[in-house]
Structure 1
Amino acid sequence: MPSTAEAGRFHVTVVAEGRELLHGWWGSEAVARRKFSAWVGEHGARPGARVTLADEETGSVLTEWPDRQ
């Protein structure tokens, strides 16, 4: 996996049926949040879909879809 400096700080992943389908890194949180929203729209209907936006620098999850209850 590339370093945060090479790939970007913000990491978005799409998992469905236990498999990672897509992932990407962006240096801008605003751009990563737009990609997160787009991927929820494109892949949210897949069985078991989960989309996650994480800040790789801090190790924190910024948002997930669907929300964990």
Structure 2
Amino acid sequence: MNSDRYRLTLVGDGRPTLQGWRESETVARRKFSAWVGHGDRPGAQITLIDEETDSALAQWPDSQ
């Protein structure tokens, strides 16, 4: 398994402010949930992407 398969990105003010890659989807989803707790800044967006399939697994807020 590719060690950077699952990518988390926190965007603030239209720019990526924090990124992280995880090997495990389970760990990546836990990190996603933790980041949502810190995403209360105006304009914050958080995405979890599977780099292997190029698909979005989760995004916050949901209405993007």
TM-score scaled to structure 1, two decimals? 0.85
Rounded to whole Å, the distance in 1 between the matches of 2:53 and 2:40 is: 30
Q: SS of the counterpart of 1:58?
A: coil
**By percentage of residues, which structure has more helix?**
1
Pick the aligned partner of 1:56 from 35, 51, 54: 51
Identity %: 59
Q: Which amino acid aligns with 1:59?
A: D
Q: Which runs of 4+ in 1 moved over 3 A?
A: none
Q: Which runs of 5 or more residues in structure 1 are unaligned?
A: none
* Structure 2 residue aligned with 1:38: 34
Equivalent pairs, count: 64
TM-score scaled to structure 2, two decimals? 0.91
Q: Which amino acid aligns with 2:53?
A: T
Q: Which runs of 5 or more residues in structure 2 are unaligned?
A: none
Question: RMSD in angstroms over aligned alpha carbons?
Answer: 1.5
For residue 32 of structure 1, report the CA deviation from its aligned partner.
0.3
Rounded to whole Å, the distance in 2 between the matches of 1:17 and 1:26 is: 24
